[in-house]
A and B are shown apart, each in its own frame.
Chain A
């Protein structure tokens, strides 16, 4: 522990303060959306309510208090897990999110797994064999992959595997097994048949990104002096490429993959719409369609918190890896 120096604590503290600042901004935006868009009272009581009813709801919601007090109450409620009541379904927003969270998380994790499984070997191959026919195809393919919108690759997969071949179901989530409050689709074959297409769709963008990044990092490392020196020492090709070059090029790649997990959550909005996947993204799109403001702001806060936490983890990993922060 002695190796962890003051500089690192200072750095992490700085990052933590920045993360809290970001969360304050995000919650304020969410609060502003909730507070200034439409009249929350009208949305809660419906058309036929009397003025007395309205006044009562107004007092209940604390809308008579100063804005700044309301904001801190809003944050206080969120910290206790209270995101309010959905205008559309009249149910608690946090319960609605708890039901949908496993669907989105499983989809994101499976797709992340796919993109790492294929992306890293493809990137290594492209870096080691830059002139080969396969590498060129991988690279052109990755540019095509970036140019195909997520929803279109989803539709293509549906057309191929559901309509033409009839192998896989195209809509929803099935074969679920309940583990307490977590419904998983990863333990049955039927569950996998539902998750595989959405996960592939979601992973294409990440896959191209990871391939290109591993390739770029590795090409950079191969050119450095210590690799040349390792070769000069007569180490075997295998040791030089996989022990020295790969390990050193993976550090930035791993951090970027961590940060990209957040993007996966954002892109899952699109995938969930295409495949009718009952996750958080679908909930968010429905909330925009019906102007269901509590759900909108809750999703915003969820995504904000997710990003901030991911960023903090990445910073922590950096701090542990970077010797300049470890010493001093």
Chain B
């Protein structure tokens, strides 16, 4: 047995070998090279990861629990940044009107913003990609119908579409029910306002792919249509999807923040960055800038890092620029 082992690699060895080649393949790839060569992008990626990490581990990393009513005291309200309250507690970014630590509120708020942004883009991606594939593959009236809907929707700005869906949901659900379902409605509204980009890009790329011989061969061999779409065409249209997804996350986060700022998004009970900025905006006139501007800067950094990554990815994945 020992002898045969030395000749034929075990499953673990094969996986290990596969891993090294995978890492090697990544290290050798053009994308990795262009990544390492642009310091701005490395910084953006690190910033992005740090923000995501601190948002998702907020319950463990945040210095205080901003939703624990018992620890909030009005004595510690409206403290400027870098101040210490009477109990000797330190607040790096100050406190808001309820004595809530701004840094902790930002971390929890960013978590809500990211969840909504990522979920909305995931929804838009799945919906848009499947409709785009269907439109490209079947053509005919399905294609024209889907693309006309896309045209009409594209002539309206996403924020308006999301606002409208939100308003309709409010009328259907009623105000009290809306409160508890707000986050799902928001994901749906933002997702539905962004699917068009995915559908158009995937349709265009799939139309090119399916004229190629390997798809024709698969069709002649009698491979089922869903299998061709998912296993043959989809992997070849991944790069436009990836670029759009990255930029869409930035757009979705801004849309969520805007809706929350306008007061039609996330309720105050579970604030997102937009809600924090909206609430803090009321105190701006009396000079308490830190309540609204710190969440605002965090939002800008988050969006900017996704935008930079998306911009870079578009150039890196564009074969014409090589």
Contact = CB atoms under 8 A, between A and B. Distances in A.
Given A152-B299, A262-B157, A289-B264, A296 B167 contact: yes
Contacts of A293: 171
A273 interface: yes
Interface stretch (B56-64, B75-83, B225-233, B283-291): B283-291
Contacts, number: 108
Interface residues of B, number: 39
Interface stretch (B198-206, B237-245, B304-312): B304-312
Given A22-B152, A285-B264, A266 B159 contact: yes
B114 interface: no
Interface stretch (A115-123, A143-151, A218-226, A236-244): A143-151
A172 B138 CA distance: 53
A270 interface: yes
A269 interface: yes
A177 to B, nearest CB: 28
A49 B296 CA distance: 48
A159 B287 CA distance: 8
Interface residues on A, range: 35 or more
A3 interface: no
A303 B152 contact: no
Contacts of B289: 159, 163
B172 interface: yes
B156 interface: yes
Contacts of A156: 293, 296
B307 A147 contact: yes
A274 B263 CA distance: 12
A147 B163 contact: no
Nearest to B167: A288
A291 interface: yes
Given A22-B152, A263-B157, A303-B156, A33 B168 contact: yes
Contacts of B70: none
B26 interface: no
Interface stretch (B28-36, B85-93, B253-261): B253-261
Nearest to A307: B155
A159 B159 CA distance: 25
A151 B159 CA distance: 13
A267 B166 contact: no
Interface in A176-233: none
A307 B153 CA distance: 11
B99 interface: no
3 smallest CB-CB distances across A and B, nearest first, come from A147-B304, A37-B171, A266-B157
11 contacts: A33-B168, A37-B171, A149-B303, A155-B284, A156-B296, A159-B293, A262-B155, A262-B157, A270-B258, A270-B262, A289-B263
Interface of B: 152, 155-157, 159-160, 163-164, 166-168, 170-172, 175, 250, 254, 257-258, 261-264, 277, 281, 284-285, 287, 289, 292-293, 296, 299-300, 303-304, 307-308, 311
Interface of A: 22, 25, 33, 37-38, 143-144, 146-152, 155-156, 158-159, 162-163, 170, 262-263, 266-267, 269-270, 273-274, 284-285, 287-289, 291, 293, 296, 300, 303-304, 307-308, 311
Given A22-B152, A143-B304, A289-B263, 16 more contacts: A37-B168, A143-B307, A146-B307, A149-B300, A152-B277, A155-B292, A163-B284, A269-B160, A269-B262, A273-B262, A288-B166, A288-B170, A291-B175, A293-B171, A303-B160, A307-B155
